Chain A
Amino acid sequence: MSAADSTYDVIIVGAGLGGGIAAGVLAEAGQRVLLLERGRDLRYRDIPGDHLRHHRLSLYGDNTTHEPAGHPRVFVDPQGHSRTVFPHEADYHNNALTVGGGARIWGMQAWRFHPDDFRMSSRYGTPAGSSLADWPIAYSDLAPFYERAEHEVGVAGDHTTTDYAPRDRAFPLPPVPATPTGAWLARGAAKLGWNAFTPPLAVNTTPYLGRAACVQCRQCIGFACPTDARNGSHNTLLPRALASGRCTLITRAHVARVLTDASGRAHGVEYFAPTTPDSAQTERRIAHATTIILAGGAIETARLLLLSASPQHPRGLGNHSDHVGRHLQGHYYPVVSGLLPVGFQNPNLGPGVSIATTQFNHGNPGIIGGAMLANDFVKLPIIFWRSHLPPELPRWGSANKKAMRELYLRGIDLRGPVQEIPSPDSRVTLDPHVRDHFGLPVTRLSGTTHPETLRTAEFIRARAEDWLRAAGAERVWSSPMDLRLSASQHQAGTARLAADPRDGVTDPFGRVHGHDNLWITDGSLHVTNGGFNPALTIMALAFRAAAKIAATT
């Protein structure tokens, strides 16, 4: 099938985790799939190991965005001042721009959400001004698809200790090895009476599905994996889609709008793509399909729904009750740093994340929800300098340099993704003034999370300090957090699932209300984002939606 053949069974917008999984499931089910990806199909050598330009520290650019100038966003700060921002800036809320999406460079934590993460409003009520709500599905609806994601993408873990959510099968890969600093944290947890265990990571701890094992390098999160041991859709479901012969992948393809008819049925997309794969010249194209799936991430998917307004849907597709783009959320991350005693000079191998607790995800007195807490990846020296030296230390001179060499291997830190209390005012809209390279209105990001998120974050920060102290850290410190917009790599919530069209954008499977053949398979669907890294939930929802589409079309 050539690119000129512009009629398909399915068009998928975005080749990240959700899009890649949908492509694999549907192509193997016999459907002809067109997969449109805005980024390039970056190889290992195309993603530089630059410590100042990667996805945890992007001071002067990042290592997956090749053409940053043409795709700005507008960010509105809490005081109401707006400014144009570019992908490497924090306020852009970027994710990796490549086939595979964020999973090319992710930290691989592959958590199932807690059963109570699906019923936040039932458990805690809905704080005034928030849009905290239950999901229209339960943990048990998603459990079989979590299991599928764990086995078909590849997750390493210990099922005997990872027991906060019921599971039927062991993980397919043995857990990541313990680390020296993890041993201190294990002793600390035991002292406190907390349950701590090895977190699940989507990494080949042994060879799996035809690819090599992790070599435990110390330049992990934010960079491409040198042995392709980091798992995502790019090295599992997407290759399966392509191997079926029924999936056409077009990179550097920017979708401008979803085309709908008067009845609301989506019949195709309009997009811009290079005239030939490597050309700088682009052309406008139309492709048609029976089913359209959006998987561009919570920010770009919302933007595309808004860009696709039509005379019948003047406020955008799925936006009948004004939920598209609202409830934008990510994760607040309290970070607590400490120093192990003098004489501890035992460096961790990669990835570095080796111990976690779910002790504080729920049931915290007077607090809504909570967070998983875990130790972190091996720290890059420049990140240690910027964020993990004791605050009273001089920032320059002999004292600072001496501290770097005396403290770097004594550093220990904890962090956790706080389940956010969403606000309808934290949102994606279209900017009325700024246009992208193709003349389309860019994303405008505004609002903040709900203040209740801060209370939960402060509670979790205090528990992380408790853990570091109990672990034997001689000095522990952290900073209070501010009210701000939160999205970034864990962006979610902008097309929330809802049984009733008045309460959200998509039905409980991810089909856009009012548009029977328009689906979403990314974090946009999340009603709430769990107190965990959200990637495995994105994958599980994508497996579930794709299975539903395959069974009904």
Chain B
Amino acid sequence: MPLTPPQLEALRALLDRLIPADEFPGALAAGTDQFILQLLIHACAAEAPAIAQSLTHLDAEASERHDQPFAALPTAAQDALISDLEQNRTATPWPATFPAAAFINRLIDLAAEGFYADPANGGNCDGASWRMIGYDPLLPARPSAP
């Protein structure tokens, strides 16, 4: 597991705001958190320490502003904090090598990759996002190609 329990909690809370549930399932219901964890273990293992550290920074940032970890904040406060991170507006120090905006943009990309990619990648369970937007690959049930 590349993340500590508090980091995982922050990640899940963040994903719940990046792609929230509405009348359609959001990132968490579609398994996008699991998709990201798998990437951090395998294809993006080199990135995992920086992302883990940034999730800790995210909690520090929330605590500095609201005396609570990110996951405990009301959604409006979470969204305001995410918007600030996009602009590198931070109340606590973030590493120059991976600033707040770089972190949040990377998580925005990862969330969308998982949520909108093929279900076999693990972040779009049962093709939830594809049903929502009206995409079906229409692959034949039995491929006839050699």
**Contact residue range for chain B?**
35 or more
Closest A residue by C-beta to B121:
A52
- The smallest beta-carbon distance between A60 and chain B, in angstroms, is 4
Closest A residue by C-beta to B42:
A60
How many residues in A have their beta carbons less than 8 Å from beta carbons of B?
Answer: 43
Binds A, one of B16-24, B55-63, B66-74, B89-97: B16-24
Question: Which residues of B81-135 are within 8 A (CB) of A?
Answer: 82, 105, 108-109, 111-113, 116-118, 120-121, 129-130, 132-135
- The smallest beta-carbon distance between B47 and chain A, in angstroms, is 11
Q: Which of B22, B105, B121 contacts A51 (CB 8 A)?
A: B121
Determine which residue in B18, B105, B138 has the highest number of CB atoms from chain A within 10 A of its CB, and name it.
B138
Whether A345 pairs with B137 at a CB distance below 8 angstroms is: no
B43 close to chain A: CB less than 8 A: yes
What residues of A have a CB within 8 angstroms of the CB of B111 in the complex? 396
- The smallest beta-carbon distance between B72 and chain A, in angstroms, is 19
Q: Which of B17, B24, B132 contacts A397 (CB 8 A)?
A: B17
Closest B residue by C-beta to A45:
B143
Q: Indicate whether A60 sits within 8 Å of B39 (C-beta atoms), given known contacts A405-B24, A409-B133.
A: yes
| Bound CA–CA A224/B116 (angstroms) | 20
What residues of B have a CB within 8 angstroms of the CB of A349 in the complex? 138
Q: Which of A215, A396, A397, A404 contacts B133 (CB 8 A)?
A: A404
What residues of A have a CB within 8 angstroms of the CB of B79 in the complex? 397
A408 close to chain B: CB less than 8 A: yes
| Bound CA–CA A60/B43 (angstroms) | 6
Whether B145 pairs with A228 at a CB distance below 8 angstroms is: yes
Q: Indicate whether A397 sits within 8 Å of B18 (C-beta atoms), given known contacts A49-B118, A382-B117, A408-B134.
A: yes
| Bound CA–CA A315/B10 (angstroms) | 58
- The smallest beta-carbon distance between A269 and chain B, in angstroms, is 29
What residues of A have a CB within 8 angstroms of the CB of B138 in the complex? 215-219, 349-350
Closest B residue by C-beta to A224:
B145
Whether B139 pairs with A226 at a CB distance below 8 angstroms is: yes
Whether B145 pairs with A59 at a CB distance below 8 angstroms is: no
Whether A49 pairs with B19 at a CB distance below 8 angstroms is: no
Q: Which of A60, A219, A385 contacts B116 (CB 8 A)?
A: A385
B146 close to chain A: CB less than 8 A: yes
What residues of A have a CB within 8 angstroms of the CB of B108 in the complex? 395-396
Q: Which of A60, A61, A396 contacts B19 (CB 8 A)?
A: A396
What residues of B have a CB within 8 angstroms of the CB of A408 in the complex? 133-135
Whether A227 pairs with B133 at a CB distance below 8 angstroms is: no
- The smallest beta-carbon distance between A399 and chain B, in angstroms, is 10
| Bound CA–CA A50/B43 (angstroms) | 14
> By DSSP majority rule, is chain A's interface helix, strand, loop, or mixed?
loop
Whether A381 pairs with B139 at a CB distance below 8 angstroms is: no
Q: Indicate whether A404 sits within 8 Å of B20 (C-beta atoms), given known contacts A52-B121, A226-B139.
A: no
Whether B19 pairs with A381 at a CB distance below 8 angstroms is: no
Whether A44 pairs with B43 at a CB distance below 8 angstroms is: no
What residues of A have a CB within 8 angstroms of the CB of B139 in the complex? 49, 217, 219, 226
A264 close to chain B: CB less than 8 A: no
Q: Which of B116, B137, B144 contacts A228 (CB 8 A)?
A: B144
B5 close to chain A: CB less than 8 A: no
A386 close to chain B: CB less than 8 A: yes
What residues of A have a CB within 8 angstroms of the CB of B117 in the complex? 50-52, 381-382
Determine which residue in B26, B39, B82, B135 has the highest number of CB atoms from chain A within 10 A of its CB, and name it.
B135
What residues of B have a CB within 8 angstroms of the CB of A61 in the complex? 43
Whether A215 pairs with B145 at a CB distance below 8 angstroms is: no
Question: Which residues of A217-272 are within 8 A (CB) of B?
Answer: 217-219, 224-228
Q: Indicate whether A226 sits within 8 Å of B134 (C-beta atoms), given known contacts A60-B43, A401-B19, A401-B22.
A: no
- The smallest beta-carbon distance between B9 and chain A, in angstroms, is 19
A501 close to chain B: CB less than 8 A: no
A2 close to chain B: CB less than 8 A: no
Whether B134 pairs with A49 at a CB distance below 8 angstroms is: no
Q: Which of B19, B20, B113, B137 contacts A218 (CB 8 A)?
A: B137
What residues of B have a CB within 8 angstroms of the CB of A51 in the complex? 116-118, 121
A115 close to chain B: CB less than 8 A: no
Whether B118 pairs with A50 at a CB distance below 8 angstroms is: yes
Whether B140 pairs with A215 at a CB distance below 8 angstroms is: yes
Determine which residue in B17, B22, B118, B145 has the highest number of CB atoms from chain A within 10 A of its CB, and name it.
B145
| Bound CA–CA A228/B146 (angstroms) | 7
Whether B17 pairs with A396 at a CB distance below 8 angstroms is: yes
What residues of B have a CB within 8 angstroms of the CB of A347 in the complex? 134-135
A43 close to chain B: CB less than 8 A: yes
| Bound CA–CA A61/B133 (angstroms) | 26
| Bound CA–CA A227/B109 (angstroms) | 33
B50 close to chain A: CB less than 8 A: no
Whether A217 pairs with B137 at a CB distance below 8 angstroms is: yes
| Bound CA–CA A342/B21 (angstroms) | 24
A212 close to chain B: CB less than 8 A: yes
A169 close to chain B: CB less than 8 A: no
| Bound CA–CA A409/B24 (angstroms) | 17
- The smallest beta-carbon distance between B35 and chain A, in angstroms, is 10
What residues of B have a CB within 8 angstroms of the CB of A49 in the complex? 118, 120, 137, 139
Per-residue CB proximity of B26-39 to A under 8 Å, as 1/0? 10000000000001
A-B contact pairs, 29 of them (CB 8 A): A44-B145, A49-B118, A50-B118, A52-B113, A52-B117, A60-B43, A60-B44, A216-B138, A217-B139, A217-B140, A218-B136, A219-B139, A226-B143, A226-B145, A227-B143, A381-B129, A381-B130, A381-B133, A382-B112, A386-B112, A396-B82, A397-B82, A398-B20, A401-B20, A401-B22, A404-B132, A404-B133, A405-B132, A408-B134
Q: Which B residues lie at the A interface, using CB under 8 A? A: 17-20, 22, 24, 26, 39, 43-44, 79, 82, 105, 108-109, 111-113, 116-118, 120-121, 129-130, 132-140, 143-146
Q: Which A residues lie at the B interface, using CB under 8 A? A: 43-45, 48-52, 59-61, 212, 215-219, 224-228, 345, 347, 349-350, 380-382, 384-386, 395-398, 400-402, 404-405, 408-409
If A216-B138, A381-B130 are given as contacts, then 9 extra A-B residue pairs at C-beta distance below 8 Å, sorted by A number, are A45-B143, A52-B117, A217-B137, A219-B138, A225-B145, A228-B145, A349-B138, A395-B105, A396-B18
